[in-house]
Amino acid sequence: MRTWQKWTLIVLTLFLIPIMYFENQYFMREQFKQSQKNMQQSTLSDFNDQASGQYAAFKIYAVAKPHGKIYYFVPQNQNGANIDLQKQEVALGNQLYAKAHKESPDIDHITLYVSYTAKNLQDNTYAFKPTAEAYGFVKSRFKTRYQRLFSQTGTEAIYDMQHNTTSVSFKDLQKDSTTIPMIRQLAIDQQLQAHDYTPEQLTQLEALDFPGNDQATNFDFTTDGLTLKFAKNPLDIETIALPMATVGPYLNPNLVPEDNQMPSKKGGAKKIALTFNTTLKPSTITSVINQLNDLNIKATFFTTGKAAKEHPDQLKQLLKAGHVVGTQAYNNDDDLDTMSASEIADNLKQTDAAYFKASGQLPHLLRVTTETPSTELTTAASRALIAWSVDSEDWRLDIDAPTIAKNVNERITGGDLVLLHTSEATIKTLPAIAKEQTAQKRHFVTVNELFKQRLTPYQQYFKAGDQRSLQ
């Protein structure tokens, strides 16, 4: 080969080498870009399938960022409108994007997928929780991998997807007029069980800003239950969380899982609730507790406020033995139905104070007659009103134990509330009552058990299947 040919070949080789190098680099970049695109599309497809499996009606929004892109999967209600979960999703997406960019500045492209998990509570009721995942191309010595960088979840919110685009309001949560006082009652009781409060602290607890109307916003509602939020207070209580199993029965059933709804009112025909009006006389209380224990019966007692004050140990005895204790008026001869609203409130406040001092608890059952109570009493009491369906007539001075037993056994039809007193004659007749009702295949329960629930304000209870709304 001639010299000029050699030099020509060398020059051509030197010329072609960079061309081939850059062509190869270009090809590799294009290949990488396509691979990048394929991986992003594959991940997007996976999130699309995941969202569809959770809740099918949604729309995808893509938002470009300086160093990447955010995809939002926004659920839509049955009218095709975006629910306000979108606001939380956007906030979560921006937060996670900033975190990914800050903690991974060497990553060229950040892709965020902001989706959700969904849980169907009822036909049209869903609980949504935003979820966000950040992906990026992470370079290593030998290759670049597309991988998940961070993940984060938002706060669960519950929606009625048939009509609304906003999460449920406090108005939506209300089942009826009993919901607000029951939430307050449940929350206070929970605190009393957890803390040994003084009477002064009880007053501070009762003064907390519990949700009191349709416009209340100091709450969170999730599948876990209802969380109440409070302004600064002397007890330093920030929140009170009521589990769904506890609060669910008193909320709108359309927003509550079926397992946590109010039990059916049907049934109870084979149950009887013995109820005793009592002055807590020490000797008779010991006697009635022993007799009921021998018969394996749990009963419900109603004490006056004065009796609770004078005989606190006997009140504690009843509670320790597993019986339910409600109240009457403060004095035996106080007629609440003839009092003004303020007089009733003062009377019950005095009774509650005596009950609390003796037991550390608050009563939730108030004994009333079979007459319809006054509006003032119903409102001021703000608790369940317990009447009866069978009167033993043991209040008569001339009555004996056999007659008491006959009155009760002949009048019981099943599901009854039986009116008794803690007199010696009544205590003596309990075995005869138990024997006859057992023979009839009936068994004895507390008032709460008879109605399969915690009893609510503005209701008067007579027997299983017979409770009457007073509002």
3-class state of residue 134 by DSSP: strand
The confidence score (pLDDT) of residue 28 equals 44
Long-range contacts of 449-453 (CB under 8 A, 24+ apart): 449/271, 449/273, 449/298, 450/268, 450/271, 450/272, 450/273, 450/415, 450/417, 451/265, 451/268, 452/263, 452/264, 452/265, 452/267, 452/268, 453/249, 453/262, 453/263
Q: Among 46, 61, 453, 34, which residue's Cα sits nearest to residue 265?
A: 453
Q: Please state whether beta strands 417-421 and 271-278 pair in parallel, antiparallel, or not at all (unpaired).
A: parallel
Alpha-carbon gap, residue 315 to 292, rounded angstroms: 16
Instruction: Name the average pLDDT for the chain.
Output: 89
Question: Which of the given ranges, 41-45, 84-88, 449-453, has the highest pLDDT on average?
Answer: 84-88
The confidence score (pLDDT) of residue 26 equals 47
Reported as a single tens digit per residue, the pLDDT across 191-217 is: 999 999 999 999 999 999 999 999 999
Confidence of residue 359 (pLDDT cuts 50, 70, 90): very high
Q: How far is CA 233 from CA 205, 238, 273, in A?
A: 9, 8, 41
Reported as a single tens digit per residue, the pLDDT across 16-52 is: 566 555 554 444 444 455 556 667 778 888 888 888 8
In degrees to the nearest 10, what's the CA dihedral of 367, 368, 373, 378?
0
Query: Which residues make Cβ contacts (< 8 Å) with residue 244, sequence separation at least 6?
Result: 223, 224, 225, 226, 256, 257, 260
Alpha-carbon gap, residue 287 to 431, rounded angstroms: 13
User: Residue 18's Cα: distance from chain center in Å?
Assistant: 71
- Kind and range of the H or E run holding 154: none
Boundaries of every domain in the chain:
37-160, 175-260, 271-469
Alpha-carbon gap, residue 394 to 230, rounded angstroms: 49
Query: Which residues make Cβ contacts (< 8 Å) with residue 440, sequence separation at least 6?
Result: 412
Question: Rounded to two decimals, what is the model's pTM?
Answer: 0.84
CATH 3.40.1190.20 fits 271-469, yes or no: no
Reported as a single tens digit per residue, the pLDDT across 221-250 is: 999 999 999 999 999 999 999 999 999 999
Q: What value does the mean pLDDT take over residues 410-434? A: 95
Reported as a single tens digit per residue, the pLDDT across 320-338 is: 999 999 999 999 999 999 9
CB neighbours of residue 194 within 10 Å:
9
The confidence score (pLDDT) of residue 46 equals 85
Question: Does 104 score more than 80 pLDDT?
Answer: no
CATH number of 37-160: 3.30.565
Alpha-carbon gap, residue 433 to 18, rounded angstroms: 108
